[in-house]
Amino acid sequence: MTKLSDLITSLDIKPEPNGLWSVMGVNVEVFAQHLHTASRNRVRFQPYHPSELTALDGLLLAEALSTHNNPHLLLQQITEHLKPASTLLIIDWQADGPPTYGPDFDARFKKGWLSRLLREWGFGQVDTLEHHPVYYVVRAIKGPSPSLAHTDTFVEVAHLDDLPGNSMQTVDVFGHTVVIANTGQEIVAFDQTCPHANGKLDKGLLRRQNIACPLHGYIWNIISGEPLFPDDEDCLRRYCVKINEEQQKIMVSLAPPRRVDS
């Protein structure tokens, strides 16, 4: 069977991870070499051992989840013991990749579910470094979520009349492309980029509080951010909206949603 190390010829990880790392999984020597190269030889390695997790600055799980008999428990134990600010890199098979590559589907650990779990387990920064049709590379850093610049500042983005019920449009908020949508009940703001594989949600189908992505048809609730179909995906990133009633203006900040008095 094809191994991920046969498909991945380099790791593009920036900023380069420094410090003490371990690699766990399949063909660990190959991935250690990739990490070494990506870090310009600034990474030191020690063999993986669960009792050494607290000493690590970084851990790479290479095809480790899809080859473990209890990947959920493994991931939980690892995330519990890694120290703050350490990096967890995960390379594994896409759950919806082609059947000709990789293990049986029920052995694959879904990227969206993985990202969601990592956030819930204390990794404030979770990024998909690569969403390949066959595999994914996810990087998670333990600790609070890095706040975006200007999160306390609201930007005037549209007039209420420009956003009738069941409509949406993209706006720019400090360089971020944000979708504002009117569900008919309330106005919400969320990321233009689909959490699954970077589809453009403003090109999707809005039905009241639900949006279907144009790329694969997955559906999210834009008020709660929860995935509806399938329900084991990552959450949609949402932003704070307030209405200037006097001027009938929609205002958005890059902070997470909360109740704001106008």
Binding site for ligand FES (CB under 6 A): 194, 196-199, 213, 215-216, 218
- Residues near 104 by beta carbon (within 8 Å), at least 6 away in sequence: none
For residues 160 and 235, which CB has a smaller minimum distance to ligand FES in the complex? 235
Whether 219 and 233 have beta carbons less than 8 Å apart is answered as: no
* Nearest approach, Cβ of residue 190 and ligand FES (Å): 13
- Residues near 202 by beta carbon (within 8 Å), at least 6 away in sequence: 168, 169, 170, 179, 192
What amino acid occupies position 123? F
For residues 215 and 243, which CB has a smaller minimum distance to ligand FES in the complex? 215
DSSP for 178-238, written as a single string: EEEEE-SS-EEEEESB-TTT--BGGGSEEETTEEE-TTT--EEETTT--EEESTTSPPPPE
For residues 17 and 204, which CB has a smaller minimum distance to ligand FES in the complex? 204
* Burial of 97: CB neighbours in 10 Å, binned 0-12, 13-18, 19+: middle
Q: How many CB atoms lie within 10 A of CB 235?
A: 17
For residues 44 and 216, which CB has a smaller minimum distance to ligand FES in the complex? 216
Backbone angles phi, psi at 59, to 5 degrees: -140, 130
For residues 111 and 142, which CB has a smaller minimum distance to ligand FES in the complex? 111
How far, in Å, CA of 203 to CA of 32, rounded? Answer: 40
* Nearest approach, Cβ of residue 56 and ligand FES (Å): 33
For residues 153 and 198, which CB has a smaller minimum distance to ligand FES in the complex? 198
* Nearest approach, Cβ of residue 194 and ligand FES (Å): 3
* Nearest approach, Cβ of residue 96 and ligand FES (Å): 9
End-to-end CA distance of the chain: 59
* Nearest approach, Cβ of residue 229 and ligand FES (Å): 10
* Nearest approach, Cβ of residue 93 and ligand FES (Å): 17
Whether 165 and 171 have beta carbons less than 8 Å apart is answered as: no
